[in-house]
Amino acid sequence: MGKYIVTLCLLSLLVAGCVSTGCISGNCENGQGTLESPSGSKYTGGFKHGAFDGQGIYAKANGSTYVGEFKHGAFDGQGIYTFLDGAKYVGEFKNGNYHGQGIYTFPDGAKYIGEFENSLPNGLGTRILVGGEKYVGQWKDGKYDGQGTLTYANGSKYVGKFKDGKFIGK
């Protein structure tokens, strides 16, 4: 998930910095418009004081897309970010980060469903791997941390406490 977080953070900087490039239609200062960057990325949606604001669609030149809410030039509110490799995040954003409830689907089909803070699983969540392994419980900074249940593909379970992604106890 780390590479996607870096990509999202860099994208947030690009989105915020993109506003000074060319408006190709509409009102890209205060209203609805379409703006295209020299790299070929394109934003269509609301603008306020020259920044992306309100509902919009941001399409990177490489094919990754974000559809959702913007505030002060950053992803903020409900949105869907689809990566070029097929990974996808559907949920809440705050200041350009995954923040709140969301579903992150990895390119191989594995999923994390739950709470995010600063683009990492934090709080209660469920991770389901393609092979059948499943973790349901508490997370901290992207790792199992607190009470949880880890069910292996063969059906065996570990129920108990975790710290930094590792079992504590028996």
pTM of the model: 0.85
Which tokens hold the place of 68?
A: 């959702």
Return residue ranges of the chain for CATH 2.20.110: 2-120
Q: What is the pLDDT of residue 153?
A: 96
Q: Are strands 120-128 and 166-168 parallel, antiparallel or unpaired?
A: unpaired
pLDDT for residue 126 is more than 90: yes
pLDDT for residue 94 is more than 60: yes
- Helix and strand element counts for the chain (H, E): 1, 14
CATH number for the segment(s) 2-120:
2.20.110
Q: What is the pLDDT of residue 6?
A: 30
Q: What is the pLDDT of residue 5?
A: 39
**Residue 170 confidence class, pLDDT cut points 50, 70, 90:** low
Collapsing DSSP states into helix, strand and coil, what is residue 36? strand
Mean pLDDT across 111-135: 97
Give backbone dihedrals phi and psi of 130, rounded to 5 degrees, phi first.
-60, -35
Contact between residue 21 and residue 38 where contact means Cβ atoms under 8 Å apart: yes
